[in-house]
């Protein structure tokens, strides 16, 4: 199976992968005052850096899919090094967290009714209704 190997600075490597995945993500985020012209809506002078290694299962009919995760770091700093490598393995690290994924609606009529309810609820906000 395919996996992503992650190492933060000189810490231990984490190998994220599972036999029932359809999505595997490695997300490095920076938020806050990132440039001299940044105008923020709230007081966040110092940028915040974070990383997450996760994925989404695809288990087939009748089985619930999950958003899963192997690594989450919310305390990265300027100069930290995050290394990624795409690998094949039969022995990924165990999943450390997950939550059930919302099931996609396949019933066309149910989806139409959902869209109609949403439109009617938001109509006055976005249209000039006389």
Is residue 20 situated within a structural domain?
yes
- Answer for the pair 95, 70: CB distance below 8 angstroms, yes or no: yes
Q: Which domain holds residue 64?
A: 2-101
Q: What is the pLDDT of residue 14?
A: 97
pLDDT of residue 83: 98
Return phi, psi of residue 121, to 5°: -70, -30
Residue with tokens 């989450």: 72
pLDDT in tens, 48-79: 999 999 999 988 877 888 899 999 999 999 99
Residue 121 is assigned to a structural domain of this protein: no
Report how many domains make up the chain: 1
R_g over Cα of the chain: 20
- What is the C-alpha separation between 125 and 11, in angstroms, rounded? 50
Q: Which residues of the chain have pLDDT under 70?
A: 44-45, 103-107, 129-130
Widest distance between CA atoms in the chain: 63
Is position 107 within any domain? Answer: no
- Give the residue from 7, 37, 43, 2 showing the smallest Cα distance to 20: 2
pTM of the model: 0.72
116 is a domain residue: no
In angstroms, the Cα distances linking 83 to 8, 12, 94, 115 are 6, 11, 20, 42
Q: How far apart are CA 129 and CA 78, in angstroms?
A: 50
Residue 32: the pLDDT is 87
User: Residue 113: its pLDDT value, please?
Assistant: 87
If one counts every other C-beta atom within 10 angstroms of the C-beta of residue 8, the result is 17
75, part of any domain: yes
Residue 128 lies in a domain: no
């Amino acid at each position: 199976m395919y996996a992503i190997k992650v190492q933060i600075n000189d810490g231990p490597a984490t190998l994220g992968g599972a036999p029932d995945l359809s999505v595997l993500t490695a997300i490095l985020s920076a938020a806050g005052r990132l440039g001299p012209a940044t105008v923020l809506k709230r007081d966040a002078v110092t940028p915040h850096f974070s990383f997450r290694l996760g994925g989404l299962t695809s288990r087939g009919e009748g089985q619930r899919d999950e958003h899963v995760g192997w690594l989450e770091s919310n305390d990265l700093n300027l100069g930290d090094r995050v290394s990624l490598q795409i690998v094949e393995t039969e022995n990924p690290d165990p999943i450390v967290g997950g939550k059930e994924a919302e099931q996609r609606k396949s019933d066309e009529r149910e989806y139409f009714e959902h869209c109609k309810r949403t439109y009617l609820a938001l109509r006055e906000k976005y249209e000039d209704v006389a």
